[in-house]
Amino acid sequence: MIVFRYLFLTLFLLAGQGASLAQDFDPEQARLWLDTGQERLSTMAMVTDIDIEVTGMLAYTVVRQQFLNDSAHWAEGRYVFPLPDDVAVESLRVVVGNRMIEGEIQERHQARMTYETARAEGRIASLVEQERANLFSTSIANIAPGEVLEVQIGFRQRVQYAHGEFRLRFPLSIAPPYVPGDPRPAELGSTRDGGGQAENTNQVPDASRITPELAGPLESTNPVSLRVALNAGIPLAMLESSHHLIDKRYDRGTWNVLVDGPNANPHKDFELVWQPVVREHVESVMFLQRLGDQDHALLMLTPPEQFTASRTQREVTLIIDTSGSMQGESIEQAREALLFALDSLSSQDRFNLIEFNTSATALFPSPVDATAANLREARGFVSRLRADGGTEMLQPLNLAMQQVMTPGYLQQIVFVTDGQVGNTAEIIDQVREKIGESRLFTVGIGHGVNSQFLTDLARFGRGSDVLIADLWQVQIRMSDLVAQLTSPVLHNIELHWPNDVEFLPGQIPDLYTGQPLLVAARGHRLRGDLLVTGLSDGQAWQQVIPLETFQTAPGVAAYWGRQAIQRELDRAGHGISHDEARQRVIDLAIEYQLLSPYTSLVAIDKTPERSRDAALRRQDVPSFLADNGQHGGALMARAMPATDAGAVSRLIRGLLALALVVLMILHPIVSRDTSTESWI
Amino acid sequence: MIRPLLICCFMAVALWQIAGATGIHAKAWLGQVLMERAWQRARESDEPVEPWPGSISHPIARLQVPALKIDQLVLQGTDTPVLAWGPGMEVGPHGHRLIAAHRDTHFRFLEELEEGESVQLELADGGLETWRVANRQIIDARKTGLDMSAAKNQMTWVTCWPFDAIEAGGPMRLLVTLHKTIAFDHQNPLAATNHSGVEL
């Protein structure tokens, strides 16, 4: 079925139409592609184990996936998988039999060379590359027939915090992205060199790398299990999973959460939410890790719930994605979200509505007053929305950003989409260039949302992003967003450090009610007082944060490294050249041992595969035949008896010695003629 | 001066090794010969008979492969000292039989033993069983154990593999699985039953 869908997609692209595609894109699970040289086969991860350890604001996760080469040939495997946004990937391990191969960070091109050399030499090798900020691929070379191997990937991520609630998200599935543009002519190289379903196009030159073959919901028989060890450090009032049934247990300060068996639906993203018992206002928390001679800190500031009571006049442009990928429940959620946003408008506000799929349509040529008649027309427009067609995102954004602005109004663009497009970089560039004084807010709809892209859009649009995975969440998440949209803003925020400190983000975003300000900092010695100043409705606002009290936490340095890499990536082409940004990213990635677009993790087995028997000979780990339950009773297993008397080896050694004796006796006789002196 | 010394040394090594190898074969042959007498007596009495005073084992069965002209006495136990004298047998809790022997002496013939071959096992109590070779497999002794609780109509033979390996003590084993075809009772020849695949 899936193959057919993509065939259709490709055909339409070939015909040069961004034609309407009636497809139900369900988020789906990644699978491993096996290339045996003769044929291409696919195999699902047999077991996926996710272990998350949360300490304070940071989480360390290890994902273990076992794959089986069920073909009769040596194979190379490749699979694409999603990770949470903003992750700092720092370790790769491949386990084959009793051996563990550890990966190391290398420059991307060099890592690929290392991998390919090892593959040619017949060694087990693995390579993890970053395809997008939240999309990664793993290649494994020289998997023996019938062999099971385990790939372990370790990474760090930050826990989200807003409105007194902590949130940890883990994507279990990926949705296929929409790939716009014309297929690249075959002369420019293979159009599917990445092995994916879509062909490379002029707008998305690596499309074939990011569109893996996917397994539909009915095929997902492979088990996923997810464990979270939550060390919140404070008593919790609530601990819930948004989309899965969980088993939770409290043990000596740690909450252990388990999702497995039939509860672990891999087609829904995992989200864990918790609230501390004490909901009193906490002004700041600092987490510290010292690495080398540098202090690395993660600082969270929460401004007071209310700054002033005044209300700002707003001009809101709502953009709704009605492309084919939004079909089904997604469009329902989007409709609900839009109606919610419309309801929040007061009579002093102005608004407009833009719908887009293959092309964009605005309800009004320019924003209009939120009168009862206009709102009624807008509601009618929303209820008539149908999801169909491509996802051409640039048009509606340009339309919204180029509207004639009404002076004295706060410009807000609310963008409702699942973010499934391939040309994300192009869209982000446009927004950075044209956003001006407008603020862009994104609302991610459904499971398998490209949330990294939406977060980036909101970041450059100086707004914020929310995710709505299920219909029931529309109310909660949208009220948070609307509260933000209508609440007074703390802007022009500046940080005054006591000494020379490097901090991120360099440009502090606006702060809305209930939103914390997160700052990563690095300095030789972080002590003293931090002064935070800002403006709220023209009024000066300030807060003093003492840096003396902190909690030590692992992963802060990795978080800093990840943020610093992001800063350099953002600067590329905007201030510094691409080459310079690339070099800085490589330096940072190697300093903090992180995966990045320019560095990869590569693991090479030091033992060539062909002498694997020799390598195994050195180990002596007895294990036993599995009890298949046939005999009911306990398994009576015994080791093999030694069944070699050693007569052969003795005979051979004896004959060799005898041959030497014969040679020694014969030597003087044979060599007497040629040499006059006999040897001693 | 050194040459004769070297020659003597190598000669000694050669004799020692060849004697060792010959000794192994001699022991294997002698064991069978000495055991023959004890086996005849054991069949007449109910008690196990020691082949010679202070011996570590005693014969408990006679193994015959007519097609390969093999006729061997099987001893009790599969410890290394026992296997020097002859194939050793262990019996599991449900009657599963395991016979192990050295690849360079008694079980050398497993190399030629083919699937489907008929094998006879004569027991000390006079029972004569007919078995058939069901399959042969090569396994890694470090990764596989033997399931002694298997059914009694199954027998496993083990020997080292490959047969032409030069070094002793390799990890690979040849496992031959046999299935009992007919349980033949000497006292009551008419009670022969087909037990293939059926728990007795």
CB contact under 8 A, A640 and B16: no
d(CA B20, CA A423): 77
- So what's the pLDDT on residue A254? 87
Domain enclosing residue B170, as ranges: 2-194
* Residue percentage of chain B with pLDDT more than 70: 88
Measured between beta carbons, which residues in chain B are less than 8 angstroms from residue A619?
142
Residue B149 has pLDDT above 80, yes or no: no
**Among all residues of chain A, which has the CA nearest to that of B81?**
A645
Q: Crossing angle of helices A578-592/A556-571, nearest 10°?
A: 170
How many contacts does A have with B, using Cβ atoms within 8 A? 159
Give the separation between CA B72 and CA B77, rounded to whole angstroms: 15
The predicted pLDDT at position A378 comes to 93
Does residue A498 lie in a domain region? no
List the domain range (segments joined by +) for residue A112: 25-276+596-612
Residues of A in contact with B13 (CB under 8 A): 653-654, 657
Q: A337 and A268, same structural domain? A: no
Chain B residue at shortest CA distance from A667: B3
Does B150 contact A631 at a Cβ distance shorter than 8 Å?
Answer: yes
Q: Are residues A35 and A111 in the same domain?
A: yes
By C-alpha distance, the chain A residue nearest B24 is A647
Interface with A, mutate which of B29, B82, B160 (most A CBs under 10 A): B160
Average pLDDT over residues B164-185: 75
In a domain, B53, yes or no: yes
Shared-domain flag, residues A345 and A267: no
Which of B93, B102, B166 is closest, CB to CB, to A643? B102
Q: Is residue A143 part of a domain?
A: yes
DSSP state of A186: G
pTM of the model: 0.56
Is there a contact between A636 and B28 if contact means CB atoms under 8 Å apart?
no
Let me know if residue B12 belongs to a domain: yes
Q: Does B24 touch chain A (CB under 8 A)?
A: yes
Let me know if residue A281 belongs to a domain: no
Is the CB of residue B88 less than 8 Å away from at least one CB of chain A?
Answer: yes
pLDDT in tens, A84-136: 877 899 899 988 877 888 899 999 999 999 999 988 888 888 999 988 777 78
| Residue from the list A617, A625, A645 with its beta carbon closest to the beta carbon of B144 | A625
**Nearest-by-Cβ selection for B10 from A640, A643, A657:** A657
Query: What is the Rg, in whole angstroms, of the alpha carbon atoms belonging to chain A?
Result: 30
Point out the residue among A620, A643, A651 whose CB comes nearest to the CB of B142: A620
Q: How many CA atoms lie within 13 A of B17 on its CB side?
A: 18
What's the distance, CA A393 to chain centroid? 22
Task: Say how far apart CA A174 and CA A176 lie, in whole Å.
Answer: 6
Assign residue A353 the CATH number of its domain: 3.40.50.410
Inside any domain, residue A573? no
B17/chain A closest Cα distance in angstroms: 5
HEC states along chain B?
CHHHHHHHHHHHHHHHHHHHHHHHHHHHHHHHHHHHHHHHHHHHCCCCCCCCCCCCCCEEEEEEEHHHCEEEEEEECCCHHHHCCCCEEEECCCCCEEEECCCCCHHHHHHCCCCCCEEEEEECCCCEEEEEEEEEEEEECCCCCEECCCCCCEEEEEEECCCCCCCCCCCEEEEEEEEEEEEECCCCHHHCEECCCCCC
Domain assignment present for residue B56? The answer is: yes
Structure tokens, A619: 């180990």
Do A34 and A161 reside in the same domain of the chain?
A: yes
Residue A141, φ and ψ in degrees, nearest 5:
-105, 150
Give residues 99 to 138 of B whose Cβ lies within 8 Å of A. Answer: 100-105, 107
Tokens 């494994």 map to which residue?
Answer: A140
| B199 belongs to a structural domain | no
- Among the residues of A228-365, which ranges form H helices? 329-343
**Same domain (yes/no): A355, A263:** no
Q: Which residues of A touch B25 (CB under 8 A)?
A: 647
Q: Is residue A236 domain-shared with residue A357, that is, in the same domain?
A: no
List chain B residues with CB under 8 Å of A641: 78-80, 83, 88, 100, 158
Q: Is B40 touching A (CB cutoff 8 A)?
A: no
Instruction: Report which of residues B7 and A311 the model is more confident about.
Output: B7
Alpha helices in A97-253 (DSSP H): 108-120, 207-210
Cβ contact, residue pair A648, B21, below 8 Å:
yes
* First and final C-alpha spacing in chain B: 73
Distance from CA of B57 to the nearest CA of A (A): 16
Q: Which residue on chain A is closest to B151 by alpha carbon?
A: A631
Please answer yes or no on whether A652 and B166 come within 8 Å at the CB atom. yes
CB contact under 8 A, B14 and A661: yes
Query: pLDDT by residue (tens digit) across A208-236?
Result: 555 554 443 333 445 678 899 998 777 78
Best of B98, B149, B157, B161 to disrupt the A interface by mutation (most A CBs within 10 Å)?
B149
Question: What is the C-alpha to C-alpha distance for residues A390 and A18, in angstroms, rounded to an integer?
Answer: 6
Nearest to A645 among B105, B140, B145 (CB): B105
| Closest chain A CA to residue B79 | A641
Residue pair B172/B140 in contact (Cβ under 8 Å)? The answer is yes
Residues of chain A positioned with their CB less than 8 A from the CB of B144: 623-625, 640
What's the Cα-to-Cα distance from A162 to each of A384, A464, A504, B131, rounded to whole Å? 34, 11, 19, 75
B196 to A250, A500, B130, B132: CA distances (angstroms):
56, 86, 11, 10
Q: Using an 8 Å CB-CB cutoff, list chain A residues near B2.
A: 680
Quick one: which of B105, B94, B101, B107 has its CA closest to B199? Answer: B94
Tell which of A628, A644, A678, A679 to mutate to test the B interface (max B CBs under 10 Å): A644
In terms of pLDDT, which residue wins out, A43 or B12?
B12
The enclosing domain of A204 has a CATH number of: 2.60.40
Q: Do B170 and A646 touch (CB under 8 A)?
A: no
Q: Please report whether residue A623 resides in a domain.
A: no
Q: Domain tally for chain B?
A: 1
Count of domains for chain A: 2
- Whether A426 is covered by a domain: the verdict is yes
More confident residue, A341 or B51: A341
Residues in chain A predicted with pLDDT less than 50, given as ranges, are 1-30, 44, 175-181, 183-192, 213-221, 307-309, 610-636, 675-680
Is B200 within a domain?
no
In a domain, B90, yes or no: yes
CATH number at residue B67: 2.40.260.10
* B12–chain A nearest CA distance, Å: 9
Minimal Cβ distance to A665: which of B7, B14, B140:
B7
Judge if the upstream peptide bond of residue A554 is cis by omega within 30 degrees of 0. Answer: no
Running DSSP on this structure, what letter comes out for residue A460? H
Residue of A nearest to B101 (CA): A643
Touching A: B residues 138-167, CB under 8 Å:
140-151, 158-160, 164-167
Test B164 with A650 for CB contact under 8 angstroms: no
CA A633 to chain B, closest CA, distance in angstroms equals 8
| A173 in a structural domain | yes
Residues of B in contact with A660 (CB under 8 A): 10, 14
Nearest CA in chain B to A619: B142
Instruction: Select from A432, A448, A471 the last residue of a domain.
Output: A471
Tokens read off for A46:
């047999």
Cis before A367? omega within 30: no
B83 interaction partners in chain A (CB closer than 8 Å): 641-643, 645
Residues B36 and B88: beta-carbon distance below 8 Å: no
Interchain CB distance below 8 Å, A643 and B83: yes
Same domain, A379 and A457: yes
Q: Is the ipTM of this complex over 0.85?
A: no
Contacts of B165 in chain A (CB under 8 A): 644, 648
Contacts B141 to A, Cβ<8 Å: 639-640
From A186-195, A507-516, B121-130, B139-148, the region with the lowest mean pLDDT: A186-195
- Residue A416 counted as domain residue: yes
Among B16, B138, B143, B175, the strongest candidate for a mutation testing the A interface, having the largest count of A CBs within 10 A, is B143
